[in-house]
Amino acid sequence: MVTRTEIIGIIDSVILRRDFWTLSGRQKNIQALQKLGLDAQAAFDEIYDNLSWQDYIAGPLKDNHPQPIPGDIWIFGLRIENIECGTVPCQVDTLNNKN
């Protein structure tokens, strides 16, 4: 079981490395931005300003994509502009201090 302190630590890590994060060009991400009427930077602003340990859904999980990226995946649920955005996956390589 993941503790509140661990979740807060992951969120802090994500915020500290804000300049390194990019939005994946996956179709579902593009559609979500269009639905929200936001660009990627505005969406990241919403995430960084509003993400809380209470939004935690799952993690740490291993990356199971065909070309995995090092680090664990943490999943959060978030509402932006009063629209449920589903999940916000954050991938953090805590061993190598990379996003």
pLDDT in tens, 35-94: 888 898 888 888 888 889 999 999 898 877 777 777 788 888 887 766 666 555 555 544
pLDDT at 86: 59
Name the 3-class secondary structure at 89: strand
Q: What is residue 63's predicted lDDT score, i.e. its pLDDT?
A: 78
HSE-up (13 A, CA, CB side) for residue 35: 14
What are the CA-CA distances from residue 31 to residues 24, 28, 34 (Å)?
A: 12, 5, 5
Q: pLDDT band at residue 99, thresholds of 50, 70 and 90?
A: very low
Q: Is the pTM of this model over 0.75?
A: no
